[in-house]
Amino acid sequence: MKIALYQGPGKINDIEAAWAHLAERAACAKTGGADLLVLPEMYLSGYNIGAEAARSAALVQTGLAPARRIAEANSIALVFGYPELVGEQVANAAALIGPDGTLLLNYRKTHLFGALDRDMFKAIGQEFAVAELHGHKIGLLICYDIEFPEPARALALAGADLLLIPTAQMQPYTQVARHLIPTRAYENQLYIAYANHSGSDDGLDYVGLSSICGPDGAVLAAAGLGEELIYATLDKPHHAKVRETDPLLRDRRPELYASLIR
């Protein structure tokens, strides 16, 4: 499976323009041979938009119909962040849509980052689900979630081969993009695609530095600071060899770790 990852500024507070931009990016990624396109956190609306704008832009899941049509028209799977309306609350969500337009996963951010997140969203997310695409088991996380070891480990233990992480990582947290993402990939022996914004958004400066990392921690593709579309291919035989050579998950001793959940 070949992954394309889009890093860029997207469209701010303009959902219709975002759908058009998504269609363009999907067509471009498909032309590049990709089976899956991953885009940033809150891609459809912009991230640093405030509570009122987030609520105004929030969609129920049926509102994702344009993305489902784009996926089907281009025969490409899509992952992107968006504000989701759940009852009267707004969640920071990410959707995985299959190449036939099926909604395979809808994940809600479980760890909110400071006042910036908490002013806009509720921590509605409660589970770490896995879906299958092209023979690979896939899990979703969003931005700050990957900075805690437990969510990634929970998905690895659930059988995930690949974590897709829409993010809105800002200055000064370059260490997350540069060091933590390859480490999470290695310690959980899975692929990670980490899709960030670029540029600035109402005074928030994004670090860019999106990447696709392999299960041995190798950086397979990396973006710089600006708008980019990067690619990498998942290699099942290599993945199996990594897990056999360094059986980190198999050699765990969970009976010793009970105190970690307190």
Of the candidates 2, 11, 28, 143, the residue annotated as catalytic is 143
Burial class of residue 62 in the structure, from the number of CB atoms within 10 Å of its CB (0-12 exposed, 13-18 middle, 19+ buried): exposed
**Residue 41 annotated in active site:** yes
Entry pTM: 0.96
Q: Does residue 168 sit in helix, strand or coil?
A: coil
User: pLDDT tens across 115-136, in order?
Assistant: 999 999 999 888 899 999 999 9
Please report the domains of the chain, with CATH numbers, ordered by start residue: 2-261 (3.60.110.10)
Beta bridge partners of 131: 138
Q: What number of CA atoms fall less than 13 Å from residue 180's CA on the CB side?
A: 17
- Assess whether 143 carries a catalytic annotation: yes
The two structure tokens encoding residue 151? 């969510």
Helix (H, G, I), strand (E, B) or coil at 107: strand
Residue of 11, 24, 28, 41 with catalytic role:
41
pLDDT of 262 reads 73
Q: In what order do the strands lie in the sheet with 103-108?
A: 103-108, 89-97, 77-86, 36-38, 2-7, 228-233
Give the chain's residues under pLDDT 50: none
Active-site option among 11, 84, 109, 213: 109
